[in-house]
Amino acid sequence: MRKLLCKDLYEDLNKLLEGIIRRNFKSDDIKNDLIKKILYEIEKVWEEAEKTKAKYEQLDKSIRILYKLVLDFYAKVNGYKVEGKYDPKDIEYILRDMYIKLGYTSNRLISDVEKLAVIAYKDPLTQLYNRLFFITQAEIFIENSRRYNHPLCLALFDLDDFKGINDTYGHDIGDLVLKKFADALARNVRLSDIPARLGGDEFALLMPNTELETARVVIQRIYKALEIAPILVNSNSIYIRFSAGIAQWNGENGFQELYQKADVALYESKRMGKNKITGNM
């Protein structure tokens, strides 16, 4: 205990205890025994206090190291040197400021990733899925249909006389026609369907869990939506019409074979005078 307490404090405490005990107990053996026991208990308390103090000093040392690291990092991030002695309020402010900045950076990164995803998978003009995403999803859907023995249909669309619209009214109106058709396509299909712009005035629709006749009904619904909403240009009404070819997956072939069947059906619609729907089992 003499190592833990200063000498004067220990001696004063010892004298105080001896005085209290000797005034109340006549036997020297009892007095000495009581003094020893009390001093032993006091020594234990002080040992625990010293351990606690050591832990506190170690914690304080760790905090100071962390403080220095945070200051250095903060200075590098903000482009200036930070000096000064340890102050808990400073580190609290710095950590809060860094948390806000990191949160802002994180949100910005998430936003950038979302924008990149849109660029990678969406057609910029119509906001439908692009060819790359469509083909990737089509292969996945075919594999699911094969595994669970579900029907699947693919429809291909080609806008009738689109070149004439571009030549007559200009490319701005041509773009408006493409967006109008894309909007009608997206609004008249299920959430599980995949509408896409493959390029130019060519569009596609992948319909899982759908047989040929049901797919035909879906496409007729798109026809009706466009028929009642022509585009007005200088008092002229532009009616958007299209040819469509539908193919139902046969349960064996892959996407390329399914696409070729739908393309043959589309060609047949064009050959029959356009503005037609042709199905191919």
pLDDT-based confidence at 4, cuts 50/70/90?
Answer: very low
Give the model confidence (pLDDT) of 238-250 as tens digits: 999 999 999 999 9
The reply to whether 271 and 136 lie within a common domain is: yes
Tokens of 208: 């899982």
Structural domain including 43 reads 7-78
Q: Tokens 């006091």 correspond to what residue?
A: 42
The reply to whether 141 and 268 lie within a common domain is: yes
Are 261 and 280 contacting, i.e. CB atoms less than 8 angstroms apart? yes
Element (H, E) at 90: helix 88-121
Residue % of the chain over a pLDDT of 90: 50
250-258 contacts, C-beta under 8 A, 24 or more apart: 250/281, 251/145, 251/146, 251/149, 254/139, 254/142, 255/135, 255/138, 255/139, 255/142, 258/138, 258/142, 258/152, 258/154
Element (H, E) at 171: helix 171-187
CATH number of the domain at 256, please: 3.30.70.270
Residue 135: per-residue pLDDT: 92
CA atoms in the 13 A half-sphere facing the CB of 174: 15
Residue 3: per-residue pLDDT: 44
CA distance 159 to 177: 9
The reply to whether 151 and 231 lie within a common domain is: yes
CA distance 165 to 58: 80
Residue 241 falls inside a structural domain: yes
Are 215 and 246 contacting, i.e. CB atoms less than 8 angstroms apart? yes
pLDDT-based confidence at 253, cuts 50/70/90?
Answer: confident
Q: Tokens 């006749």 correspond to what residue?
A: 213
- List all residues 6 or more positions away from 109 whose beta carbon is below 8 Å from its beta carbon: none
The reply to whether 141 and 47 lie within a common domain is: no
Give the model confidence (pLDDT) of 61-101 as tens digits: 666 666 666 666 656 655 555 555 545 555 566 666 665 66
Q: What is the mean pLDDT of residues 188-201?
A: 95
pLDDT greater at residue 27 or residue 171: 171
Q: What is the mean pLDDT of residues 151-179?
A: 95
Dihedral over Cα of 114, 119, 121, 127: its sign: positive
Residue 249 falls inside a structural domain: yes
CA distance 156 to 184: 15
* 73: number of Cβ within 10 Å: 13
CA distance 108 to 173: 35
Ramachandran bin of 274, using left for φ above 0, alpha for ψ from -120 to 50, beta for the remaining angles: left
The reply to whether 13 and 148 lie within a common domain is: no
Tokens of 147: 């595994």
CA distance 122 to 117: 8
Q: What is the mean pLDDT of residues 122-137?
A: 92
The reply to whether 69 and 158 lie within a common domain is: no
Residue 216: per-residue pLDDT: 95
Residue 32 falls inside a structural domain: yes
Residue 85: per-residue pLDDT: 53
Angle of helix 28-78 relative to helix 7-24, nearest 10 degrees? 150
The reply to whether 194 and 274 lie within a common domain is: yes
Residue 85 falls inside a structural domain: no
The reply to whether 162 and 244 lie within a common domain is: yes
pLDDT greater at residue 126 or residue 121: 126
